[in-house]
Amino acid sequence: MATISNLGIGSAGLGDLYNQLDAAERTKLTTITSQQSTYNAQLSAYGKLQSAMTSLQTATAALGKTATWNSTSVSSTNTAFTATTAANASVGTFVVNVNQVAKAQALTTGSYASNTAQLGDTTGTTRKITITQPGTKTPLEVNVADDDTSLAGIASAINKANGNVTASVIKAKDGDYRLMLTSKTTGTDGEMTISVTGDDKLQSAIGYDSASKTGGLTVNTAAQNAIVVVNNIEIERQSNTITDALPGVTFTLKAESKADEMLEVSRATDANQKAITDWVTAYNSLQSTINSLTKYVAVEPGKGSQSNSNGALVGDANVRGIQSQLRGLLTEAQSGSIQIMAQLGITQDPTKAADGTVGNLKVDTDKLKKALTDNPDAIQQYFIGDGKTTGMATKMSKTLDSMLSTSVGNAGVIQNAKDGINKTLKSLGERYDAMEAQIDATMARYKAQFTSLDVLVTKMTNTANYLTQQFSQK
C-alpha cells in the first residue's frame, strides 16, 4: 500500500487529501474480498457436507455387507465355559460338557533353610541350566556362576532369560524356602525337563525328567490338556481357549462341568438393530447438516439486505440434488417379502425437528426387533439385494461412492463443486493482486503529483513571506 508522510510545510491538507484518495481507491478491493469470503464459506460448507455424507456412506456400507447380517451371538448363559462367536458361526444349540481344563505344570524343589545359600558346587566356572519343553522349539538355556546357585539366584537368572518358564521362591514358613518352576503354557506340551551341566550337585537339587518323572523336583501341578465334549464328540486341546472345535465359535473353559450345558448360538439381532439405527442416525445427521447449510432467513420489512444467518449453500443446486436423490432411494420398493422401510418400523417423520429439519427418519424399535427376529433373511434381502444392482443399501452405497468420489476424471459432485470454488478463489486472488498493483501505481502517481505541488506551494509561500517582510520594512 502506497502512503504519504510529510509533503512539507506548504502541503496544508494535501496529506489528508492523499489518504482520502487512497481509501477511495481501495474500496475497489472490497468487492473482491467480499466474494472471497462468500466462496471460502461455501468451501467450508462443502467440507461439512462431505463429512456428513462420509458418515452416512460408512453406515450404509455396513448394511450392505453379508457379514453384518450373518453376525451371531451366544444367547445362553453357561457356567463351565464362556463362548464368543464370529460371523461364520452356525446358528443352533449344542450340548457341551467340560471334562477337564488345561493346566500348566508346576515343579518344586525340596525345602531349604535359606533362599540365598549356594546349592551347587564351587567350580570357579559357570554351569548351564537347560529347560526343555515339547511345545517349545528352542530349549531355555541359562548360565549361572557359583554365587548364583541359590534359590533366589536361580529364579532371577531364569526369569531374566524370559523363556516359557517362570521361577518363584516360595516361603512356606521361616526356614522353609522352595523354588517353584511353572510353565507359561498349559497342556502336556509345556511339561518341563530340567538338566544341569557342569555341576552335579545342582543337578541333583533341581534336575527333573518329565518323561520318567524322576529327579530332584516334585510335581506340584501336573500338566494336562483341556478336554471338552461337544454333541458327544470329545475334543482335546493344549489350551483352555479353543478356537477350532466349531467354526466361528471360541470356547474359554473355566471349570469342569457338573452336568451337560447348552450352548445356544443365535443371530445377533441386537448387533443388526444397532447397524440399522446407526444408519438412521447418520442419515438424520446429514439432513440436519443440509438444513443448516441451506437455511434461509427472510428479509425483515424495511431491510433490503439479506440476513447474515443464511446458510452458506442456500439455494445450491448440488445440495438439493443430493438430498433429493438420497430421499428417492428410501422410497424405492425392493424385491422380496420386505419391500419398503415401513415394514421394518422405519418411517419418515412428518413433523419438523427442533433444528428445523423436515423428513428425518424415526424407528419403531419394537417393530424392528420383531422383524429381525421373525424374518432376518428378508431384511438382509431388502438391504443387500443381489449385492450389485438391487437392495436399498447396495444402491445407496453406490450412489454415495459416486457422489464422494475424488478420482481424477471421475470426480463426484462434491469434489467437482470444491474444485470449481477453488478455481474461482484462485481467479479472485489473481484479480485482487492485479487490482492492488493498479491501485499502488495510481497512488504512486498521485504522490508524485502531490509532491510536485507541495514543492511549488512551498516556493510560493517562501516568496510571499519574503515580499511581506520587504514591504513591512519600508
Please list the rounded mean pLDDT of every run of 10 residues in the chain (474 residues). 46 70 82 89 94 97 91 93 91 96 98 96 94 96 95 97 97 96 98 97 96 96 98 97 96 97 92 94 96 81 64 91 94 92 93 86 94 90 94 96 92 94 92 86 80 76 79 72
Crossing angle of helices 14-26/28-63, nearest 10°? Answer: 30
pLDDT of residue 87: 81
The answer to whether 324 touches 359, Cβ cutoff 8 Å, is: no
Which residues on adjacent β-strands are paired with residue 81?
253
The answer to whether 196 touches 202, Cβ cutoff 8 Å, is: yes
pLDDT of residue 268: 87
Which residues on adjacent β-strands are paired with residue 82?
252
Q: How far apart are CA 236 and CA 228, in angstroms?
A: 7
Q: For cell 479353543, what's the residue?
A: 242
Q: For cell 522353609, what's the residue?
A: 176
DSSP symbol at 224: B
> Which strand ranges, in their side-by-side order, compose the sheet holding 214-215?
140-144, 127-132, 193-197, 208-209, 214-215
pLDDT of residue 34: 87
pTM of model > 0.75: no
Of 48, 71, 61, the closest CA to residue 279 belongs to 61
Q: Are strands 346-348 and 361-363 parallel, antiparallel or unpaired?
A: antiparallel
Residue type, 383: F
pLDDT of residue 146: 94
pLDDT of residue 406: 92
The answer to whether 129 touches 158, Cβ cutoff 8 Å, is: yes
pLDDT of residue 322: 95
Angle, vertex CA 441, rays to CA 28 and CA 432, nearest 5? 40
